[in-house]
């Protein structure tokens, strides 16, 4: 039987959390600051409107496509080793991005960054899971991790605006270099190595190729669907190809000795429920702040820096709520906290659906921004505990990668559907009413769709977790890494759309 070669309480566990969290924070800052800098990057490197979205798309596709593989690699090859490879690759790619002098070079470098992020995210989570013993101490670590994530998204939005305005867009990438080097220098001292301890390590290359190809095609086809059309031969063909590769992956996994994704992991009700809820929450987080960004800038006339400052209300509330969630989960268990968080998230989206054409920040935006931050913070800590509860240590990386993957897919689907709803409603309404009013009508309908997704997630958590008991000895593995994804909307699904519909 396979086992993890690192056991017991790690005396450097809090330092390991700090170093792993710093590495993850670097990736989050990079995602959020890039969105702020896109217009400047497009102008300086002479991007066409259609190609500018690839600065985001290249990252999203490689990140989402390789997450599952990155998580399994961490289990097999060593979590610290994979983490360090990811940090080194991300640091080098960041330097290349900052030095880019052409659109094509920047897009390739962003793709490499995405691959590096897919190595960093699950390995960092696995490092935390093996460093902390189960129980209240691990829950405290989850609260810290959630606070890091929430602050990363909020800081990144502001930092991006400041750097672009006063130092140049190149510095949104250059700032990663010293941080990455610091993480590389500290990791050998504070992060211990852990991996599956087996006599012979068997790999599943065919399964890895099949599932990676399937996820890449799925994310790409869904992200581009609002631009090219859902019923076009291109979209349908790509979706069919993704389904064929997924089917091939499932067949492969039943026949290899050491599958990339053992089906036994799906026997856990906690894993099934958390990944279903994670899809809904991913759709909400990716989509909500994309719509908010367009509303703030296109209807209210906010600058990117003002928009980022407005989002700080959500970032700060998420940080506080993550700490509360840790205490509530320890006292009441994950189910009621997760359900309450999702209910608050759905309620905030109903509130967002009431936005007027002449909205003001204090009267119309501050309330729902605070409420959705509270809901997300309360939902994510228990969701992450449930996602990895009962998962053997030898599959910690796999479970982390799986949760990240379902969130990415949920985010891609959510943004694509919300964008289609928004664009269709806008195109219909603009024939009869002024453009600002038509825009708000589109935003309202899209927010109602997201509110339904929030309440569906709440119902899934309440119903499917009814018979699940998380015993005291169950491992509360680490918090899901993308608590901050609301701050980095998927421009691949909407970049060209927003400009085509809304104008410059």
Q: Which range is least confidently modeled, 48-52, 99-103, 372-376?
A: 48-52
Percent of the chain at pLDDT exceeding 70:
85
pLDDT of residue 307: 78
pLDDT at 480 over 70: no
pLDDT at 356 over 50: yes
Q: What's the half-sphere exposure (Cβ side, CA atoms, 13 Å) at 473?
A: 1
pLDDT of residue 36: 72
The DSSP line for 93-112 is HHHHHHH--SHHHHHHHHHH
Position 244 confidence tier, pLDDT thresholds 50, 70, 90: very high
Largest pairwise CA distance in the chain: 71
Alpha carbons 158 and 476: distance in angstroms, whole number: 33
Interstrand relation of 3-4 and 196-197 (parallel, antiparallel or unpaired): antiparallel
Of 135-149, 238-252, 271-285, 377-391, which has the strongest mean pLDDT? 238-252
pLDDT at 209 over 90: no
pLDDT at 376 over 60: yes
Q: What is the pLDDT of residues 399-410, one digit of tens each?
A: 777 887 788 778
Higher pLDDT, 225 or 142: 225
pLDDT of residue 493: 40
Average pLDDT over residues 25-35: 76
277 part of a folded domain: yes
Position 199 confidence tier, pLDDT thresholds 50, 70, 90: low
Higher pLDDT, 353 or 39: 353
Residues near 272 by Cβ (< 8 Å), separated by ≥ 6?
266, 464
pLDDT at 398 over 50: yes
Higher pLDDT, 134 or 334: 334
pLDDT of residue 471: 44
Range of the domain at 487: 8-502
Q: Which range is least confidently modeled, 219-223, 281-285, 339-343?
A: 219-223
pLDDT of residue 486: 37
CB-neighbour burial class of residue 376 (10 A; exposed 0-12, middle 13-18, buried 19+): buried
Alpha carbons 50 and 319: distance in angstroms, whole number: 36
171 part of a folded domain: yes
3 part of a folded domain: no
Alpha-carbon distances of 338 from 86, 274, 423, rounded to whole Å: 31, 10, 32
Q: Which range is least confidently modeled, 104-113, 205-214, 343-352?
A: 205-214
Tokens of 336: 């009621």
Position 3 confidence tier, pLDDT thresholds 50, 70, 90: very low
pLDDT of residue 9: 65
Give the predicted TM-score (pTM) of the model: 0.78
pLDDT of residue 391: 75
pLDDT of residue 488: 40
pLDDT of residue 268: 83
pLDDT of residue 469: 52
Position 358 confidence tier, pLDDT thresholds 50, 70, 90: very high
Q: Report which of 484, 146, 133, 129 is spatially closest to residue 337, judged by C-alpha positions.
A: 146
1 part of a folded domain: no
Residues near 273 by Cβ (< 8 Å), separated by ≥ 6?
386, 460, 461, 464, 465, 468
pLDDT at 481 over 60: no
Higher pLDDT, 144 or 480: 144
Q: Report which of 316, 325, 459 is spatially closest to residue 385, judged by C-alpha positions.
A: 325
Q: Percent helix, strand, coil in the chain (nearest 5)?
A: 80, 0, 20
124 part of a folded domain: yes
Higher pLDDT, 105 or 226: 105
Q: What is the pLDDT of residues 127-162, one digit of tens each?
A: 887 777 766 777 677 667 766 665 666 677 777 777
The number of folded domains in the chain is 1
123 part of a folded domain: yes
pLDDT of residue 178: 94
CATH number at residue 88: 1.20.1250.20
2 part of a folded domain: no
The overall average pLDDT reported for the chain is: 81
pLDDT at 82 over 90: yes
pLDDT of residue 174: 93
Note whether 387 and 274 are within 8 A (CB). yes
pLDDT of residue 49: 61
Average pLDDT over residues 210-231: 83
pLDDT of residue 456: 95
pLDDT of residue 496: 39
Alpha-carbon distances of 143 from 114, 169, 172, 334, rounded to whole Å: 26, 32, 27, 13
pLDDT of residue 106: 95
Percent of the chain at pLDDT exceeding 90:
30
Q: What is the pLDDT of residues 296-329, one digit of tens each?
A: 888 998 877 787 788 888 888 888 888 888 888 8
335 part of a folded domain: yes
pLDDT of residue 329: 85
Higher pLDDT, 164 or 353: 353
Higher pLDDT, 473 or 29: 29
């Amino acid at each position: 039987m396979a086992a993890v070669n690192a056991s017991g309480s790690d005396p450097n566990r809090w330092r390991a959390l700090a170093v792993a969290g710093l590495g993850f924070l670097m990736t989050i800052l990079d995602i959020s600051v890039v969105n702020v800098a896109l217009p400047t990057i497009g102008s300086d490197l002479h991007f066409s409107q259609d190609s500018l979205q690839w600065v985001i798309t290249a990252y999203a596709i490689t990140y989402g496509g390789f997450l599952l593989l990155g998580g399994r690699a961490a289990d097999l090859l060593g979590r610290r080793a994979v983490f360090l490879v990811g940090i080194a690759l991300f640091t080098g790619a960041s330097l290349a991005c900052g030095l880019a002098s052409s659109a094509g070079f920047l897009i390739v470098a962003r793709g490499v960054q995405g691959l590096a992020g897919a190595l960093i995210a699950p390995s960092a989570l696995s490092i935390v899971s093996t460093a902390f013993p189960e129980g209240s101490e691990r829950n405290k670590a989850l609260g810290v991790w959630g606070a890091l994530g929430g602050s990363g998204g909020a800081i990144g939005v502001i930092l991006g605006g400041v750097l672009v305005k006063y130092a140049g867009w190149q510095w949104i990438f250059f700032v990663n270099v010293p941080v990455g080097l610091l993480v590389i220098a500290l990791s050998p001292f504070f992060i211990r190595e852990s991996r599956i301890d087996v006599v012979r390590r068997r790999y599943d290359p065919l399964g890895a190729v099949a599932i990676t190809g399937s996820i890449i095609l799925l994310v790409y086809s869904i992200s581009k669907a609002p631009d090219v059309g859902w019923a076009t031969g291109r979209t349908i063909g790509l979706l069919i190809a993704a389904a064929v590769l997924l089917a091939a992956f499932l067949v492969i996994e039943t026949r290899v000795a050491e599958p990339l994704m053992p089906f036994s992991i799906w026997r856990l009700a906690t894993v099934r429920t958390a990944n279903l809820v994670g899809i809904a929450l991913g759709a909400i987080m990716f989509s909500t702040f994309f719509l908010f960004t367009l509303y703030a800038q296109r209807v209210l006339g906010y600058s990117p820096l003002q928009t980022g400052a407005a989002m700080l209300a959500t970032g700060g509330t998420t940080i506080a709520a993550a700490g509360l969630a840790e205490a509530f989960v320890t006292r009441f268990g994950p189910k009621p906290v997760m359900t309450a968080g999702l209910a608050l998230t759905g309620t905030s989206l109903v509130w967002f659906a009431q936005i007027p054409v002449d909205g003001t920040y204090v009267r119309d935006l501050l309330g729902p921004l605070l409420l959705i931050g509270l809901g997300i913070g309360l939902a994510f800590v228990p969701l992450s505990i449930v996602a990895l509860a009962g998962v053997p240590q030898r599959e910690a990386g796999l479970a982390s990668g799986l949760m990240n993957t379902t969130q990415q897919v949920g985010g891609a689907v959510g943004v694509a559907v919300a964008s289609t709803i928004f664009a269709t409603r806008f195109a219909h309404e603009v024939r009869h009413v002024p453009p600002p009013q038509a825009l708000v009508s589109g935003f309202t309908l899209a927010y109602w769709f997201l509110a339904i997704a929030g309440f569906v997630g709440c119902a899934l958590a309440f119903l499917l977790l009814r018979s699940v008991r998380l015993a005291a000895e169950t491992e509360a593995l680490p918090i899901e890494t993308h608590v901050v994804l609301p701050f980095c909307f998927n421009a691949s699904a909407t970049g060209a759309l927003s400009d085509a519909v809304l104008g410059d």
